Amino acid sequence: MKKETVLVTGGAGFIGGHLVEKLLQKYHIVVLDNLSTGTMMNLPESPHLDFVFGDVSQEEDVAQVFATYTFTYIFHLAAVASVAASIENPVETHRINMNGTIYLLHAAQQQAAHIQKFVFASSAAVYGSEPTLPKKESSIIAPITPYGIDKWASESYVITYSQLFGLKSSAARFFNVYGPRQNPTSPYSGVLSILTDCFQRVKAGDETANFTLYGDGSQVRDFVYVGDVVNALILLAESEESTSEVYNIASDQRHTLLEVIGMYETITGEKLPLTYQTARAGDIQKSYADIEKIKKLGFVVEDSLETGLRKYY
């Protein structure tokens, strides 16, 4: 029997690669990616995977993909995923993060009768630094960066296309995602990728390995393992009830950075050399989510921070 076809934009990225791996168990996958931050090494070899090198912010690249395939599900993850890059380059970020979303929605709408769900990767960045916690989907939206503004605008388009044009869609606000293949090379990489890299260097006897802790370590985050994010995205795609809705994707746990470091020291059996520096400008002191809404769809968090870190390490 012919498998149904699924589009994953940004499929060669950190989260996209994990999503593709899982979807391949059931579907034929088309990845649209320009390899700006992604790599072919994140993608498995499979006769059920077609890689299309292309740019979501080039309307003709998007149109070409939709002229070639008919999709059952679409996962839109391609984006400039770095907040720092969006501040350095707001115009280019907007072109990719906003225009890319509209071109995809516009093309997908022509296939709306066939598409079961268009799932958009949004971010906790839409909540900005407004202090009310935990963040619910109904919490105040107050993005403070070009990245957060474009995620919010994209989400609004995604839900509006669902309501106005019948393209069934959902948006997922990821909190701090971590796991294998997250790139630790930029100072703005996810803190757990930087920590993992540091612990591995300590283990290997590298005496220069040192972790810079910005602030006093009391900042709180909701770290969600990439496997749980993948499960949540597939649940949103396959659920009827999630149509036209926005969901937080997080772990139902919160930890200070010092707790995380302590937990990682226990797991690795290594002591981490630390240097304290003043908190980063604009750093949010506490960020964590209420995930009751997605739990009502049947979402279960499989990995605690401890089991997730063990797998990652």
Q: Which does 38 bind (CB under 5 to 8 A by kind): ligand NAD, ligand UD2, none?
A: ligand NAD
Q: State in angstroms the smallest separation of the CB of 34 from ligand NAD.
A: 4
What residues pair up with 120 in beta bridges, in sequence order? 76, 171
Distant-in-sequence, close-in-space partners of 135: CB < 8 Å, separation ≥ 6: 124, 127, 248, 287, 288, 289, 290
Contact characters 203-222, ligand UD2, x per CB under 6 A: ---------xxx----x-x-
Residues 86-145 that bind ligand UD2 (CB under 6 A): 123-125
What sign has the CA pseudo-torsion 241, 74, 235, 143?
Answer: negative
Q: Which of residues 12 and 294 has its CB atom nearest to ligand NAD in the complex?
A: 12
Q: d(Cα 288, Cα 307) in Å, to the nearest integer?
A: 19
Interaction between residue 196 and ligand UD2 (CB under 6 A): no
Residues that bind ligand NAD (CB under 6 A): 10, 12-16, 32-38, 55-57, 77-79, 81, 96, 100, 121, 123, 174, 176-177, 190
Distant-in-sequence, close-in-space partners of 230: CB < 8 Å, separation ≥ 6: 15, 18, 19, 22
Q: State in angstroms the smallest separation of the CB of 54 from ligand UD2.
A: 24
| Chain position carrying tokens 């907007």 | 94
Interaction between residue 305 and ligand UD2 (CB under 6 A): no
Q: Which of residues 182 and 202 has its CB atom nearest to ligand NAD in the complex?
A: 182
Q: Which stretch binds ligand UD2 (CB under 6 A): 60-68, 189-197, 202-210, 294-302?
A: 189-197
Is 147 marked active-site? Answer: yes
Q: Which does 225 bind (CB under 5 to 8 A by kind): ligand NAD, ligand UD2, none?
A: none
Is 70:46 a contact under the CB 8 Å cutoff?
A: no
Distant-in-sequence, close-in-space partners of 259: CB < 8 Å, separation ≥ 6: none
Q: Which two tokens stand for residue 150?
A: 């474009």
What DSSP letter does each residue of 85-97 carry, written as one string? HHHH-HHHHHIII
Residues 263-302 that bind ligand UD2 (CB under 6 A): 280, 283-284, 287
Of 220, 258, 236, nearest to 121 (Cα)?
A: 236
Q: Which of residues 57 and 123 has its CB atom nearest to ligand UD2 in the complex?
A: 123
Distant-in-sequence, close-in-space partners of 298: CB < 8 Å, separation ≥ 6: 235, 239
Of residues 147, 161, 225, 312, which has the active-site annotation? 147
Site residues for ligand UD2 per CB under 6 A: 83, 123-125, 176, 188, 190-191, 194, 212-214, 219, 221, 257, 280, 283-284, 287
Q: Which residues are catalytic?
A: 147
